[in-house]
Amino acid sequence: MPEEFDEAYWEGRYREHTVSRRLEPNPYLAEAAGGLPPGAALEAGCGTGTDAVWLASRGWRVTGVDISDTALEHAREHARESGVADRIDWVRADLTGWTPAEEGFALVYSHYVHPAAGPGPLFRRLAAAVAPGGTLLIVDHHPPPAGDAGHTAHGDGHAVHTTHGDGQAGHGDGGDAAHGEHGHGGGAHGGHGHAPGAGPHGGHGDHGGHGHGSGPLVHLTPEEIAAALDPAGWEVVAAEFRTRTVTNPRGHGTVLHDSVVRARRRP
């Protein structure tokens, strides 16, 4: 595991930087879960807990997993302040090797989590945790268009504009700033995003500010994510390229390129 993105790295980021809290959930999560009946939910790479708290406030019983004790301390505080502490179980674990209970959740959600071993084993473990009839939602970085050094929107993408005052974009917290908090669950790249300098991690859940390089462990197409699911056991409801605009506290905006896969486990 590259040292710069291991547990010590994330602990240092959370301890050394003021954590900005997103007020809104990741837009893809809100879209996918908004019409589902509440049940048991797992957020893999929960960061400081924005998305887990949002789910709990809507009746879900949530398990939030993250590699950082400091992030989880912020998450617990957020849950207490929101009155949902009794509806969330926080687990400190490295998603590189952690295995959730099989068929234990009606909703399993991961946002910008990239274990050192590659995404395939993690995605398969998360898929196995979905109960029959349940939903799997995975959000990852889409490969940038050729010649796009910055983060400009793809003309064919579905634009999702999320401007949070704290500069954290749409995923749980395991990717806030740049990616809306979701998550650094461990591994080589857990939850860091592309947003310019917001919060301790500008991009995945609650992480912001530092970018990461391109490569097979960082950028995945929707088709590559969906390929981890056996068609005999899964109905892929959506496998899409999406874009969303994130603005940090200094007013600087960036466009995130996301691969979004939502699938339903066949009964």
For residue range 127-139, what is the model confidence (pLDDT) as tens digits?
999 999 999 999 9
98-118: pLDDT as tens digits: 999 999 999 999 999 877 777
Indicate whether 175 pLDDT > 50: no
* Tokens coding 16: 């050394």
- Residue 32, pLDDT > 90, answer yes
- pLDDT in the model for residue 102: 98
What pLDDT score was predicted for residue 162?
36
What's the confidence (pLDDT) of residue 127? 98
Which residues make beta-bridge pairs with 243? Answer: 159, 257
Cβ atoms 185, 193 nearer than 8 A: no
Average pLDDT over residues 45-62: 96
DSSP labels, 193-212: --SBS-SSEEEEBTEEB---
| Tens-place pLDDT, residues 76-99 | 999 999 999 999 999 999 998 899
CA angle 181, 183, 184 (to 5 degrees): 130
Task: Determine the average pLDDT of the residues in 25-35.
Answer: 96
The average pLDDT across 191-210 equals 36
Whose CA is closest to 126, among 261, 5, 27? 261
Is the pLDDT confidence value at 158 over 70?
no
* Residues in CB range of 91: below 8 A, 6 or more apart: 63, 64, 65, 66, 98
pLDDT at 255: 92
Identify the residue with better confidence: 210 or 138: 138
Strand order in the sheet with 105-111: 88-92, 61-66, 40-44, 105-111, 130-141, 253-265, 234-247, 158-161
In 3D space, the residue among 82, 183, 50 whose CA is nearest the CA of residue 193 turns out to be 183
In this model, does residue 159 exceed pLDDT 70? Answer: no
What percentage of the chain exceeds 70 in pLDDT?
68
**Domains in the chain, CATH or no CATH each:** 3-265 (3.40.50.150)
User: pTM for the whole thing?
Assistant: 0.78
